[in-house]
Amino acid sequence: MQFENKFEWCLKQGGKGEKHKGLKKIEPDLEEAEKQIKKALSDLDTMTYLYSGKKTDWVASAAFYAMYHSLLAILYKIGYESRNQECTINAIEYFVERKILKIDKDYIKMIRSLQETKEDAKSIREDMQYSSKTQMENNRCIIMMENAKKFVEKMRSVLEELT
């Protein structure tokens, strides 16, 4: 019920047409789905580049957005446009609960938290992006990178399975 209420709220917000608000039902957009998954792969490349350059404060953002863009790809393919990060994640959870998507709930947890630290991935990204910190702890960074790679690969396979 919780997923359904959030999903309906997101649709209502998306119907208002405001920027960065909610979820909107659209015709499936296979071209945009492909562009979003390519963006996710580009974000993974950027993440690796930033890590090798010791710019770990930005690794969190690249890792989060790689995961996020892979979810957007799935939504575009099934006919939804999201304008909000929480609505995107919630929509995926909603479709998993309704058995429309076959994604293990551990993948949802992955974008929401780092398994060892139990920190919210979005909060880590915001902390690293908006604070004056210039480095992320290496272990934390590696966990985020590994999770992002695993997550995007899984979402790519889900995307391919969708008809």
- CATH number for the domain spanning 46: value is 1.20.120.330
Number of domains in the chain: 1
Single out the residue of 61, 49, 69, 80 nearest to residue 130, CA to CA. Answer: 61
Q: How confident is the model at residue 116, as a pLDDT? A: 41
Residues 6+ apart with CB under 8 A from 163: none
Taking residues 52-76, what's their average pLDDT?
A: 93
Q: Is the pTM of this model over 0.75?
A: yes
* Residue labelled with tokens 């575009």: 76
Q: How confident is the model at residue 139, as a pLDDT? A: 83
Q: What angle do CA 71, 74, 77 make, to 5 degrees?
A: 150
Between 31 and 130, the more confident residue is: 31
Mean pLDDT (the chain) is 86
Taking residues 24-53, what's their average pLDDT?
A: 97
Is the pLDDT score of 43 beyond 80? yes
* Single-letter residue type at 4: E
> Residue 148 belongs to what domain range?
2-161
Q: How confident is the model at residue 81, as a pLDDT? A: 95
Taking residues 67-96, what's their average pLDDT?
A: 95
Is the pLDDT score of 162 beyond 50? yes
